Amino acid sequence: MRIFAVTLAALSLFLALPARAEDPPDQTDAAFDAQFVCPETLADRDARIDEYERYMDWAQEHHPDWNLRKRLDVRYGLLRRHECAQTLAHLASSQRPAFGP
């Protein structure tokens, strides 16, 4: 019975956690595009990984019908639209480009 009570308490605390402030649940495609920053402008590798994960989480929540290819294509479009030259050059220089024709 004690385990059940502890589990219930932990679950209620988890469900009471507020949503992340930097990713409001009603963020539209245009709003996400407007706040997008090029990965090369971020301070370090961890910040770039966090930004990529935030994008993937946003895409999953707002476009659950998108498969992985569609998510990567849209991200590539964001990189091009925001002229992220260093990131695009890095992608193009890989042995097998991430976004082939």
- The overall pTM is greater than 0.75: no
- For residues 20 and 68, the model is more confident at 68
pLDDT of residue 8: 41
CB 23 within 8 A of CB 58: yes
The pLDDT of residue 20 is above 90 = no
Which helix (H) or strand (E) element contains residue 7?
A: helix 2-15
Rg of the chain over all Cα atoms, to the nearest angstrom: 18
Position with higher pLDDT, 1 vs 78: 78
Give the DSSP per-residue string, 21-82: TTS-TT--HHHHHHH---GGGSSSHHHHHHHHHHHHHHHHHH-TT--HHHHHHHHHHHHHHT
User: What pLDDT is attached to residue 75?
Assistant: 94
Sequence spans of domains, the chain: 24-101
